[in-house]
Structure 1
Amino acid sequence: MNIIANEHTTELSRFIVFSREEWAQRRANTPLTLSEERLNALRSLNDRISLAEVEHVYLPLSRLLNLYVGAVQKLHAATSTFLGHTTAQVPYVIGIAGSVAVGKSTTARLLQALLSDWPSRPHVELVTTDGFLYPNRILEERGLMNKKGFPESYDQRRLLRFMADVKSGMEEVTAPIYSHLTYDIVPDQMQVIRRPDILIVEGLNVLQSGKKGRSRKGPRFFVSDFFDFSIYVDADEAHIEQWYIERFLTLRETAFRDPSSFFRHFTQLSLEESIHTARSIWQEINGLNLRENILPTRERAHLILKKGANHLVQEVWLRKL
């Protein structure tokens, strides 16, 4: 059985597949609230997202999420009626997964901005799971520095505790902060989350469902168990590798030159050496993580954004309810 089918076929499938043009039509009358200046502030390094891309892809997605959040709020009200008392409303949690350099950070920030602009003006927070990586000293002790971003490099217990606290409606929850400049957890600094209406959780492996072959007594919980909706940002590996190399070369001329940068030594490389280094890092670390851990979780997402070589979303896969 083919798990993917066009929305106009009757074949059994897990997803409805929309072309870019078909998806754009689902925008309806959703207004564009972003300016070019505001979009530039949300765009990640080397990401080529435009206002046209926002209109064609992200406004329909914002409309869909608006409908989903409204439906969950009605379900919450129905549950309160059944129980005979008012229960505290908890955040609607959206997970965003995908490879390094695929553009998921831009997607997360863009969605935060668009959802915050809804007429109801919801409070939308964004947390990246980078903050839940083990500090470098622990990764070094465990021989995991070259596995940074792999599932075993995260403090899963702390991340799960954070998610459980968010979904229990706690007034205040904190998350560690990660610095891409120093390539480590920032000591003594925390991001404070105060009961948002919507929480976006962005990370490489947020759709993971545990290690293969690993057995454990009692119930198992995963980050994705706490998601109300999940998005996977997808592209062919060859395209993502090229985007990673391009980003590495840009950083070599910008952020890597900061005296505090963990990667400052890369600025001494020639252009040819830099390309070779970036490709090696991709093949030995990021590409391996994508193939072994990230890509296998793609079909667990509620929605998949499939990008082409030009960074633009070409197809949208929406999982059937």
Structure 2
Amino acid sequence: MADQVNASPADGVGALAERLAALRANGDSRIIGLTGSVAAGKTTLARQLSKRLVPDLSVETVSTDGFLFPNAILEPQGLLMRKGFPETYDRDGFINALVHVRQGQADFPAHSHQIYDIDPALTRTIHLPDVLILEGLGFESPSRPDRTGGEPDVLVYLDAAEADLEAWYVERFVGFWNAARTDTASFYAQWLHMSEPELRAFAKTVWDGVNLPNLRDHIHPLRDHADIVVRKDSAHTVEIVADRMS
């Protein structure tokens, strides 16, 4: 199975897909955790990996955002602007979903960027595939040497320079803001009164005050414990820079 990914030496996504396929073929590395900073491109990388692994393997991708507590729980505790920090995740729900999907199937909730909240209508029932990619935040350092049923078999960390991450975050924020012009129900519609320079300045304050501290204090430390570390440069080219499962 791994041989059919056909990655060239310069193809970082293909190399990672090939490595994951080999791990799956040689053992029970079925559930892959993919983490890294907000705006690092985890969703895009998960989608690219899925395309490389299919059709030789059945693949499902799920965002861990679905395990954020709903706004109705976060807001009274003053945690709404701390989404993505460890205390904003339903760890019990996350663990239970992984345990149950290993047994055959589980329901995975979903978070909507449009309403900036959990949307029950987006819940998916996942039947255990050959490879399940869980991308997002909320992971903890993996157990060693044996993993529990409630954690990924393989943890991949997507690394990038802080300056690039900030730029990508601001551009993503602007993208959601522009989309809100034709969707007044969007969470980002509340900033439509701003000019684009004002919005970019505001997005940078959110990055500096929320996402950067979360990156430095809670997300980045996982890089030293991840099984595989992938580095992305400013041109969005990726390469494997550490493989601790070799």
Length-normalised TM-score, structure 1: 0.69
What percentage of aligned pairs have identical amino acids? Answer: 36
Question: Contact between 2:61 and 2:133, CA under 8 Å: does it hold in 1?
Answer: yes
CA distance in 2, matches of 1:223, 1:265: 42
User: Are 2:82 and 1:147 equivalent residues in the alignment?
Assistant: yes
1:92–1:198: 8 Å Cα contact kept in structure 2?
yes
8 Å contact 1:163–1:226 — kept in the other structure? yes
Q: 1:195 to 1:298 in 2, by over 3 A?
A: same
Partner of residue 114 from structure 2, selected from 175, 181, 193? 181
What's the offset of the Cα at 1:29?
A: 6.8
Given the alignment, which residue of 235, 238, 246 partners 2:171? 246
Whether 1:69 aligns to 2:2 is no
Give the letter for the 2:83 counterpart: K
Match status 1:96 vs 2:31: no
| Structure 2 stretches lacking a partner, 5+ long | none
- Cα distance change, pair 179–223 in 1 and its aligned pair in 2 (3 A): farther
CA RMSD of aligned residues (A): 2.6
User: Partners in 2 of 1:257 and 1:283 — Cα distance?
Assistant: 28
Deviations, residues 102-136 of structure 1 (Å, cap 9, x unaligned) = 11110111112211222xxx221111111111110
Match of 2:131 among 194, 198, 201: 198
1:160 equivalenced with 2:92 (yes/no): no
Alignment: residue pair count: 243
- Tell whether the 8 Å contact from 1:233 to 1:305 is kept in structure 2 after alignment: yes
Given the two structures, how large is their TM-score scaled by the length of structure 2? 0.89
Residue 107 (structure 1) aligned with residue 45 (structure 2): yes
Candidates 275, 284, 287, aligned match of 2:209: 284
- Larger C-alpha radius of gyration, 1 or 2? 1
Contact 1:305 1:317 in 2 (8 A): yes
- Structure 1: stretches of 5+ with no match in the other structure: 1-26, 33-51, 74-90, 211-221
1:257 and 1:267 in contact (8 A); partners too? no
Matched, 1:263 2:171: no
Offset of 1:232 from its aligned partner? 0.7
Contact 2:84-2:137 at 8 Å conserved across structures? yes
